[in-house]
Amino acid sequence: MTRLRTARLKSGITQKELASLLNINQSLVSKVESCERRLDIIEFLNWCKVLGVPWDKVIPKKYSMGENTKHE
C-alpha cells in the first residue's frame, strides 16, 4: 500500500487526518500503510476517493486486465 501512502503524503494529509476523513482509527491507517492489514475493495475505493486519486493509478499496471496476464 505504499502507493496509497505516497498519495496521502502528496496530499499533505497526516495519518490522523486521513483516519478522521475515513471515520476510522489512526492505527488502522498505520497498519494498512505498513502492510500489516489489507483493505477490502470498498475500503480501498473510499481511500482513493478521500485522497483524490483514481483507483487505477494506485494499482500497478502489471495487475491490469489484458497486460501480460494470463486468464484461464
51 Cα distance to chain centroid: 9
Dist CA 16 CA 63 (whole Å): 30
- For the stretch 26-56, pLDDT in tens is 999 999 999 999 999 999 999 999 999 999 8
Query: What does 42-61 look like in DSSP terms, one character per residue?
Result: HHHHHHHHHHT--HHHHS-G
Q: 0.85 cut: is pTM over it?
A: no
Q: What is the spatial distance between Cα 63 and Cα 31, in angstroms, rounded to a whole number?
A: 23
